[in-house]
Structure 1
Amino acid sequence: MQTKKLISYLSCEKFEKNIFTSLEERYKCNIIKDAVIINLEEDEQIILFKYGVFICWNVKFENIKFFMDFIKNFEINSFDIPFIEELNYTLENEFKINFDTIYLNNLSNISKIAISQALAQNVKLDQFEKELLTSIENNSSIPLQLAHTGKINLTKKEISKKIGELFLVKSKMNLHYDLLDTPEFFWEYPEYENQYEKLIKYLDIKSRVEVLNKKLEVIQELLHVLGDEQKHRYSSFLEWIIIILITFEIVINIKDHF
């Protein structure tokens, strides 16, 4: 069997629930657990997951484009540029992965879903990595300001906005973190989990998740720094109010004595 293209796409945060019904109306589909298998032309399949990912198995470029145009109406928080990863696959006697080529020992739908689960997690992890890195880079000036000037050169409103932005990033990662766990799919099909685990290891997903956790800790530290600064400014404001009130009271008492 010749080598064929295996392309992963992450086009949005997630798909609307009614996408499954619309896909069934337009394509020949099978739904197995959380995956939709879409049959196009002969030997062309797309496996779609609700969290914005679809995997193209040997699909022509024009069919991919047509499919992307169709699902655009069901995307929630679409990305301007989709996350894309490419591999190859072929049929062999023994399952293995070598030089970006997956050698499958069978081409059943279940086997393809097992592989697609790992590929879907891979591109979702790409998204998390990029968003966290962007957030850290956008706020890297905060520790530098503290180191050079001993204070943060932001207004109270700007600090509140920064806290909100960082909290949204952190909570989003925590909310969708289960997407990087072993899928429930393998509770029913444990015989395919070995293929999934081999691909997870090849894509270095577990160590990348550890790095992701470290970056989340950086976000948490930034939140602490900004929170402390906000408390300090509020305390300073109260102190000045107290000083002004005491001064005012002293002035009044002096006037009363004269």
Structure 2
Amino acid sequence: MKIRIEAMQIAESFNIKKFRAEFRTEVFSGSTSEVFYALTESNRYLYIFDYGVVVFANYDPVAKSEFLNFVKNYATNPVDLNLSEEYTIESDGTLNKTIVKNNYMTVSQIDSSLLRIVMLNTGQSVALEYYEALTDDLITSSKHYILELEQKGRLSISKTNLLKYIGKVLNVKNSIVDNLYILDDPNLVWDNEELNLLNRNLKNNFDIHPRFKDLDYRLQIVEDNLTLFTDVLNVRESHRLEWIIIILIAFEIIMALFVH
């Protein structure tokens, strides 16, 4: 048997509580931040995360499209970046161990717990790809201002636009910090050494931890650039105030001489 898994970043977030209340299907497992469905009658599996990711297993294009249209009703700030990741699970009853490769794995038997672990890691990988795209955009923007400083010795960006840029950076960082739990191991691996090993192998396969460290490093670079831009802007504002004061003093002197 072969099962194809596809994870997609649909939005910045989902309202999981409202979704669970209105999606008329029995939950296999879940929490306030995620929900996993095992639709055994159709051999389909579904995993939804509150950080805006949906993971399908064994869904045909029509069923997938229908569900996406439904779940968008619970989405906040839909993402239009076409971010997705695929993974395939094959079963081979003659195997006595699990083989994990770059984009597929072979196991002796497929069950709901195993599928949940694979779908979880595939979903985490897509979420990291989304945040990587956001930080890349921020770094590209900051490079433009750094180049302007190098070539012209000044920043042409207005105070309002700089504040908007700072707000965008902080919003991305807060979103990542809020979703730090995506790196946590699920409870079901704690008492199952086989699933625990599978989870670690998948995290290594998707480079989950190194990618997150790289993401944190790049955000730090952006924050350092923000500090520089803010200092430059403060100096510019100080010079402007100094000139205003000089002009006012000069005006008062002229008025005093005129009166006398």
Using the TM superposition, give the Cα deviation of residue 148 of structure 1 relative to its aligned residue in structure 2, in angstroms. Answer: 0.5
Q: Which residue of 2 aligns with 1:121?
A: 124
Stretch deviating more after TM superposition (58-67 or 141-150):
58-67
Give the counterpart of 1:30 among 28, 31, 48.
28
What residue number does 1:145 align with? 148
Indicate the residue corresponding to 1:212 in structure 2: 215
Contact 2:10 2:52 in 1 (8 A): yes
In the alignment, which residue of structure 2 is the partner of 1:63? Answer: 63
Structure 1 counterpart of 2:200, one-letter code: E
Counterpart for residue 229 of structure 1: 232
2:184 maps to 182
Distance in 1 separating the partners of 2:219 and 2:243:
36
CA distance in 1, matches of 2:38, 2:80: 24
Unmatched 5+ residue regions in structure 2? none
**1:193 aligns to what SS in structure 2?**
helix
Name 1:75's counterpart in structure 2. Answer: 75
Paired residue type of 1:46: L
Could you say what secondary structure the match of 1:140 adopts? helix
Q: Structure 2: how far apart are the matches of 1:124 and 1:189?
A: 27
Output the amino acid matched with 2:244.
Answer: I
Which amino acid is the alignment partner of residue 193 of structure 1? N
Gaps spanning 5+ residues in structure 1: where?
A: none
Please list the CA deviations of residues 106-157 of structure 1 after superposition, one character each: whole Å capped at 9, or x if unmatched. 4222222222221111010010001111122233210000001100112233
Instruction: Determine which of 129, 153, 158 is the counterpart of 1:155.
Output: 158
**Secondary structure, aligned partner of 1:230:** helix
Q: For residues 139 and 246 of structure 1, what CA distance do their matches in structure 2 show?
A: 38
* 1:11-38 per-position Cα deviation (integer Å, ceiling 9, x unaligned): 1122212101222x2x343234443214
- Counterpart in the other structure of 1:11: 10
Q: Which moved more, 1:161-170 or 1:205-214?
A: 161-170
Q: CA deviation at 1:97?
A: 0.8
Q: Distance in 1 between matches of 2:215 and 2:88?
A: 27
How big is the shift at 1:39?
Answer: 0.8
User: Secondary structure, in 3 states, of the residue corresponding to 2:157?
Assistant: coil
Q: Which amino acid aligns with 2:68?
A: M
2:135 alignment partner in structure 1: 132
Q: Distance between the aligned counterparts of 1:41 and 1:186, measured in 2?
A: 23
**When the two structures are aligned, how many residues end up with a matched partner?**
253
Q: By how many angstroms is 1:43 displaced?
A: 2.0
Runs of 4+ in 1 over 4 A off after TM superposition: 186-190
Question: Could you tell me which amino acid in structure 2 is paired with residue 88 of structure 1?
Answer: T
CA drift at 1:184: 4.6
TM-aligned CA deviation for residue 47 of structure 1: 2.2
Q: Which residue in 1 is equivalent to 2:48?
A: 48
Secondary structure of the residue aligned to 1:139 is helix
CA distance change for structure 1 residues 52 and 166 in 2, over 3 Å: closer, same or farther? closer
Aligned to 2:246: 243
RMSD (CA atoms): 2.2
Q: TM-score, normalised by structure 2?
A: 0.87
**Matched-pair contact (CA < 8 Å) for 2:12–2:77:** yes
Residue 85 of structure 1 deviates from its aligned partner by 0.6
Change (3 A) 1:81 1:248: closer
Aligned 8 A contact 1:28 1:40 in 2: no
